[in-house]
Amino acid sequence: MHHFEYRDGKLFAEEVSVTSLAEDYGTPLYIYSAATFRRHFEAFDSAFDGLDHLTCYSVKANSNLSVLKMLGEMGAGMDVVSGGELFRALKAGIDPAKIVYSGVGKRDSEIREALTAGILMFNVESMAELVKINEVAGDMGKTACISIRINPDVDPQTHPYISTGMKKNKFGLDIEHSLEAYKLALELENIEPVGMDCHIGSQLTSIDPFLEALDKLLNFHSKITEMGVNVKYLDLGGGLGIPYDEEEPPHPTEFGKALAEKLSALPLKVILEPGRVIAGNSGVMITEVVYTKSNPTKNFLIVDAGMNDLVRPSLYGSFHRIGEVEQQGRAAKEYDVVGPICESGDFLARDRKLPEVEAGERLVVYSAGAYGFTMASNYNSRPRACELLVDGDTVIVARKRETYDSLIENEL
């Protein structure tokens, strides 16, 4: 469910005409719906009401300060994976005690920043990282609360680039090495092991891999309890998918019910890290057709948004539904929708049937609220797009469009 709909053939974002937004703010343009963000967060968070839980929104999905602030006001914590994301979360007013810090490559400075802020815990991904956190905490005279990210070797049946819980992935520790890590954590003076962590991947369309991983974690929990580890938190990560095309991912209530049945007897606070499922369909990208072009085998729509603005189709071969901002009622043609970047891999869609479109008309690319702007770049020295947050009939400029001057402001 989202709040982008046609009225008399013209697309609206909540109560605001998308055409008027494109005219006022230019394209490419990201538009987020506050009502959709709120609806998705409430639907997710309430699905786990039967459990003691904390919903920590995954900042990497969409890290705009306006979005983080809005979710924080609804009670969300944050899952961060870098010092920059921690900085954003704190700037947005998020309680540090609701922040968990994941990621495989935490630097000394980032560990120090997190300890200074007083975050809830680090999700530790290697033995070397555990030793480093102890060292930094000792230098600061602090105790670091940690969980070990356990790699359960579960196949999430998703794209290999977003699969994170198998032995061949770079994330976490396998079961055997996780036991060793908890033994070491008990010995280290400046470490307090308070949780277990697991994240198996993203865009999952079934809860079965989650439950398979959970069974392994519960067996593991009994082993570390016998070792004397007092675990308070069970961090199950995120990963629930969204419908980009014809996917039918499970509703969070299905997941919540299954977790409640398995965890009812255990005194554990569950931490969940949704990102895409909150943000994905809360945003769209608007682009204008610059030229149309045909050759003997292809019809092209050359638009002003490129792989630097939305890289998912080029990087993952991902499907994003595309439509007209103003429906013209023309017959369909098959197009490649391509951008201005000097790469053959620069496309938003291939062999896509769309109503015939003319230069100067605008297209909407759906499901762009997650991993859209956050993965954008300045490739080909292109300024990044403007981000708008629409709340009813109110338009908030969540991020100004970059300029040519901003491209070079840090260069000497």
Among 278, 293, 319, the domain-final residue is 278
Q: What is the pLDDT of residues 29-88, one digit of tens each?
A: 999 999 999 999 999 999 999 899 999 999 999 999 999 999 999 999 999 999 999 999
Looking at the structure, tell me whether residues 182 and 246 fall in a common domain: yes
AA letter at 112: R
Establish whether 312 is an annotated binding residue. Answer: yes
Which pLDDT belongs to residue 168? Answer: 54
Task: State the CATH number of the domain containing residue 332.
Answer: 2.40.37.10
Q: What is the mean pLDDT of residues 92-113?
A: 97
Q: Is the pLDDT at 156 greater than 60, yes or no?
A: no
Residues 22 and 106 in one domain: no
Tell whether the model's pLDDT for residue 265 goes beyond 80.
Answer: no
Q: Are residues 190 and 255 in the same domain?
A: yes
Q: What is the DSSP string of 209-258?
A: HHHHHHHHHHHHHHHHHHHT----EEE----B---SSS--PPPHHHHHHH
> Which residues, in sequence order, are bridge partners of residue 284?
31
Q: Which amino acid makes up residue 14?
A: E
How many structural domains does the chain have?
2
Distance of CA 222 to the CA centre of its chain: 32
Residue 166 pLDDT > 60: no
Dihedral pair phi/psi, residue 254, rounded to 5°:
-65, -45
Cβ atoms of residues 239 and 275 within 8 Å: no
Pairing mode, if any, of strands 29-33 and 386-391? parallel
| Pair 322, 249 in one domain | no
Residue 239 annotated as binding?
yes
Question: Any binding-site annotation on 371?
Answer: yes
Query: Residues 182-211: what's their mean pLDDT?
Result: 88
Please give the model's pTM, rounded to 2 decimal places: 0.93
How does the average pLDDT of the chain come out, rounded? 92
To the nearest 10°, report the CA torsion of 211, 216, 219, 225.
-100
What is the domain range of residue 134?
34-278
Q: Are strands 362-365 and 322-324 parallel, antiparallel or unpaired?
A: antiparallel
- Which residues are the active-site residues? 342
274 annotated among ligand-binding-site residues: yes
Cα 303 to chain centroid distance, Å, stands at 26
Over range 396-409, report the average pLDDT.
98
Residues 242 and 353 in one domain: no
Sign, Cα dihedral of 100, 78, 271, 240: negative
pLDDT class of 155 with cuts at 50, 70, 90:
low
pLDDT band at 164 (very low <50, low <70, confident <90, very high): very low
Same domain, 291 and 268: no
CATH number at residue 103: 3.20.20.10
The answer to whether 275 is annotated as binding is yes
Q: Residues 50, 184: one domain?
A: yes
As a whole number of angstroms, the distance between CA 316 and CA 303 comes to 20
One domain, residues 159 and 294: no
